[in-house]
Amino acid sequence: MSVARRSVAHRAGRAGQYLALCAYLVFLAFPLLWLVSTSFKSPQELGAIDPTWLPRSPSLDNYRDAFDAQPLLRSALNSALVAVSAALIAVTIAVPAAYVMVRFRSRISQAGTVWILISQMFPFVLVIIPLFLVLRNLHLINSLPGLVLVYVVWNLPFALWMLQGYVRAVPVELEEAAAMDGAGRLRTLVGVVLPMLTPGLVATLMFSFVTAWNEFFFALVLLKSPEKQTMSVILTHFIGAEGVADLGPLAAASVLATLPALLFFALLQRRLVGGMLAGAVKG
């Protein structure tokens, strides 16, 4: 009898957990679903006092208008180019840097940690004018490589911070074992540490990609040519003075702007939860 009661309680608990999980998912997904729903609504429906969950007469007009009004595809390609480049470069630099900062404790690595923390305190507005002048001297205004450089610099501190934690979690015994087998530092880093860092690398890549993909102000200020503008800048072209917006096309363009990031997550999320370290070292 008591076993049965325990089983019922267990099931009820599990049901409660799933319920909470569902509620959390709804909470997370609601803005996205609402955005998708809005993108298929007519202007009249958007102006109705009782909002509808599902469009009454779904139409692709907003998508058509958005594509007609703005170069969405070109701006998406620019964004992808910049975000992927910035993410890859930031991670490529951050991996060896984080390794050195964790494994070789020195004043420099401590200073590096302080630098990371300090660099997170500067708001965009404070650095934009000096940054603009520096980039102008390097002839990198109005160029996508210039924007990539800015994003790499902007993302690097946090990427380093994230990766340090992952590097610290790699058992040093594995590296010692590799050294015993005759591997040098570089070989150890590439052949032993790097594979174990996969979840960390993926998480850092995702963070860097999404930050660069969403970034607006640097892209707005640094890119002048219409053909180089990124998606986040193009989206604001649907918004007028005093916040008046062309809501339907804006929603449609925003849905399209969200897709690459979702795709990127979908591709990489399995690696994120890989649990590579499980069972690597006994005891």
- Provide the binding-site residues for another protein, judged by CB under 8 A: 43-44, 46-50, 65, 68-69, 78, 81-82, 84-85, 88-89, 92, 125, 128-129, 132-133, 136, 141-145, 148, 190-191, 194-195, 216-217, 220-221, 224-228, 233, 236-246
Whichever of 69 and 153 has its CB closer to another protein, that residue is: 69
Whichever of 169 and 239 has its CB closer to another protein, that residue is: 239
Whichever of 102 and 228 has its CB closer to another protein, that residue is: 228
Question: What number of CA atoms fall less than 13 Å from residue 24's CA on the CB side?
Answer: 6
Q: Which two tokens stand for residue 251?
A: 């929603």
> Alpha-carbon distance 25 to 30, whole Å?
8
200 within 8 A of 78, measured Cβ to Cβ: no
Whichever of 113 and 198 has its CB closer to another protein, that residue is: 198
Q: How far is the CB of 42 from another protein (least distance, A)?
A: 9
Residue 212 neighbours by CB under 8 Å, 6+ apart: 79, 82, 83, 86, 87, 151, 155
Whichever of 158 and 209 has its CB closer to another protein, that residue is: 209
Q: Which two tokens stand for residue 20?
A: 């909470």
Q: How far is the CB of 117 from another protein (least distance, A)?
A: 26
93-99: long-range contacts (C-beta < 8 A, 24 or more apart)? Answer: 93/152, 93/156, 94/156, 94/159, 94/160, 94/163, 94/204, 95/163, 95/189, 95/194, 95/197, 95/201, 96/189, 97/160, 98/160, 98/163, 98/164, 98/166, 98/167, 99/167, 99/189, 99/193
Q: How far is the CB of 258 from another protein (least distance, A)?
A: 19
Considering only CA atoms, which of 127, 128, 88 is closest in space to residue 220?
A: 128
Whichever of 164 and 208 has its CB closer to another protein, that residue is: 208
Q: How far is the CB of 108 from another protein (least distance, A)?
A: 24
Residue 99 CA from chain centroid, whole number: 22
Whichever of 113 and 190 has its CB closer to another protein, that residue is: 190
Q: How far is the CB of 31 from another protein (least distance, A)?
A: 18
Q: Which two tokens stand for residue 245?
A: 């917006």
Q: How far is the CB of 189 from another protein (least distance, A)?
A: 9
Q: How far is the CB of 157 from another protein (least distance, A)?
A: 19
